[in-house]
Chains A and B, each alone.
Chain A
Amino acid sequence: MDQAHWEHFQHQADVGVRGIGTSMAEAFEQAALALTAVVTDPRRVQPRQAVELDCRAPDPELLLVDWLNGLIYEMATRRLLFSRFRVDLRGETLQGTAWGEPLDPRRHRPAVEVKGATYTELAVRQRDDGCWVAQCVVDV
């Protein structure tokens, strides 16, 4: 099994974020990294300060969208970028922590702002190899 990782997938107007991990929570963490990577190279972002997020939704897919939208909200209102994530999933709730630092346009060279996570190509599932995949298209 591959180690946890993230990737982007194609959407004609925008971009898809996909996290892959050994658990659903790890896939959510990787999807969040993929979200940061839409904006900037996550390796440029120092995990200096933490933000806590709580989400609640009736199924894992809606929970993924809530998690990503929660991060988008924190990025926009606190002017932060994140590069490390921890997710705890219990039933309909998600408790997450995101570590990052204030946006520095010169150092982070942000490409684009993310408007929101969408329900397009939204999926949270376990593959035949046991890995979890969490993905959706984000509107930029």
Chain B
Amino acid sequence: MNDLRPRRLDDCIWEIPAAGDRPVPVRIYADRELLDGMDAKVFEQAANVTRLPGIVAACHAMPDAHWGYGFPIGGVAAFDPDRGGVISAGGVGFDIACGVRTLVTDLTPERIAGQRERLADELFHSIPAGLGSTGHLHLDGKAMEAMLAGGARWAVERGYGSEDDLARIEENGCMAGARPQAVSRRARERQRDEMGTLGSGNHYLEVQQVDAIHDPAAAAAYGLQEGGILVSIHCGSRGLGHQIGTEFLKRMVLAAGQYGIRLPDRELACAPLDSPLGQEYLGAMRAGINCAMANRQILTELTRRAFSRVFPGAQLRLLYDVSHNTCKEETHRVDGRPRRLFVHRKGATRAFGPGHPELPEALRPAGQPVLIGGSMGTASFILRGCGESESLAFSSACHGAGRAMSRRAATRSWRGRQVVDELAARGILIRSPSLRGVAEEAPGAYKDVAAVVEVAHRAGLARKVARVRPLICIKG
């Protein structure tokens, strides 16, 4: 594997050069320490991605990259539909449009100080979390169809949130080109009782406090101030997305030969963008994106209601909602000319810079908020998209801390109760239906999110705006 050894290009950019059947290089954004901490599988997986038909410029590995399925988690790759480019179900992953949204409250630390336990309990009772939890909404065939086509807009029309929220969601809350008819009966069946649920694993709802401002102008544009209280929600498209991923992965594996695609790894299952299967997946995946945005919209309204029971009149304004497991059709300048590309971001956040036409007017001067979740006990960060990121990595940045340790190793190192008690001693309240789940998600099982964010900032993938620390974490 010597030929896959990255060589340093810059302060925090490394490259595995193109060679043989790899027409474009792999670019890795990391400092020495993060690079050394990356599993060799990251390099192998990113190199495999560059073997897929129609890849443009490079496969990029974000600073939080780790060993995934087919694509590394933290992988970005763009494909040109006019040059045989593909769409990969593995490149999006099972949790289609898993993402983060952040709400800015008008509460002060003083106002919540004596009410934290009550707020934690209220949120825990209001937000369905963990395996087997069901939502308050049960969708029949017609409602499912409308949700898959309408996304967060559908949720707003059903009374979950307001029109103002939609402008603060990618695609204005409704992914165009969704094809509900491409979503199977089984995928719908998995979602019937799961709308408005958080899920489990690394998904969470956190009440947070801004504890450092790095970019005062952008922070002001985002409505962030030191000490301010925020809420962040991390979850995805639930069972529906998982089932779409499962089914298309298999169909793409079986069809690869027919399309003349040699898969370096079956998990990289893909189909040409202009093929019937590629188009069908695209339509189903976009419906999955709508499901995820609708899900986060419903959870937002449940959160607002829980807050209002503890703090009557409290306002929770949506800062932004951004997904980090997607394939999006976007125009990017490559070698000086604009090209229509399909950008896969698997565990990577879109990060449009200032002035981008897709951003709502209020966010255009500062650039898109880039929401980076940390682990339960550490900080999270809010960054902003910057112009440099387009030429670096199709306007993409990291998405989180990234695991440093497997779940099994984590449960051998910590007990759930111990993690809850230690965090409580540091003023962080955890509410979870599963203590083993908490142990698997122990803060020590994750990489240092600050180091990841620092590299993203230095490399020019996105710029730091604020650091936030958790006060309450509802863990699935």
Interface positions of A (Cβ within 8 A of B) = 8, 10-15, 39, 57-58, 62, 65-66, 69, 72-73, 76-77, 79, 103, 105, 109-113, 115-120, 122, 137, 139-140
Contact = CB atoms under 8 A, between A and B. Distances in A.
A6 to B, nearest CB: 13
Contacts of A137: 69
B180 to A, nearest CB: 19
Given A73-B190, A140-B407, A66 B250 contact: yes
B19 interface: no
A7 to B, nearest CB: 10
Given A110-B434, A113-B131, A115-B94, A76 B69 contact: no
Given A77-B189, A110-B434, A118 B407 contact: no
A111 B94 contact: no
Interface string B231-267: 0000000010011011001100110000000000111
Contact of B131 (A12, A65, A105, A139): A105
B186 to A, nearest CB: 6
Given A77-B186, A115-B95, A118-B249, 10 more contacts: A12-B67, A13-B66, A57-B250, A79-B132, A103-B131, A115-B245, A116-B242, A120-B68, A120-B267, A139-B95
B158 interface: no
Nearest to A8: B408
A110 B93 contact: no
Contacts of A117: 246
B408 A10 contact: yes
Given A65-B250, A120-B267, A39 B403 contact: no
Nearest to B90: A119
Which 9 pairs between the two chains have the least Cβ-Cβ distance? A111-B436, A110-B131, A119-B266, A115-B242, A12-B67, A115-B94, A119-B267, A113-B131, A103-B132
B406 A73 contact: no
Interface of B: 39, 41, 66-70, 73, 90, 93-95, 130-132, 186, 189-190, 192, 199-201, 239, 242-243, 245-246, 249-250, 253-254, 265-267, 269, 402-403, 405-409, 433-437, 440, 476
A116 B95 CA distance: 9
A49 to B, nearest CB: 16
B237 to A, nearest CB: 10
A116 B132 contact: no
Contacts of A103: 131-132
Contacts of B437: 110-112
Contacts of B68: 13, 120
25 contacts: A11-B406, A13-B67, A14-B406, A57-B250, A62-B254, A73-B190, A73-B243, A76-B190, A77-B192, A103-B131, A110-B437, A111-B440, A112-B434, A112-B437, A113-B130, A113-B199, A115-B201, A116-B94, A116-B243, A116-B246, A119-B69, A119-B70, A119-B253, A119-B265, A120-B70
Nearest to B437: A111
A90 B190 CA distance: 29
A69 B95 CA distance: 15
B266 A122 contact: yes
Contacts of A76: 190, 239
Nearest to B249: A119
Given A105-B433, A116-B242, A119-B70, A12 B93 contact: no
A79 B197 CA distance: 15
Contact of B403 (A12, A57, A111): A12
B406 A110 contact: no
Nearest to A13: B403
B285 to A, nearest CB: 15
Contact of B66 (A12, A116, A139): A12
B265 A12 contact: no
B250 A105 contact: no
Nearest to B203: A113
Contacts of A120: 68-70, 265, 267
A112 B440 contact: yes
A66 B242 CA distance: 14
B69 A15 contact: no
Nearest to A79: B132
A81 to B, nearest CB: 9
Contacts of A105: 130-132, 433
A73 B408 CA distance: 24
Given A115-B94, A120-B267, A140 B246 contact: no
A72 B131 CA distance: 12
A38 B437 CA distance: 10
B37 to A, nearest CB: 10
A25 B95 CA distance: 30
A12 B253 contact: no
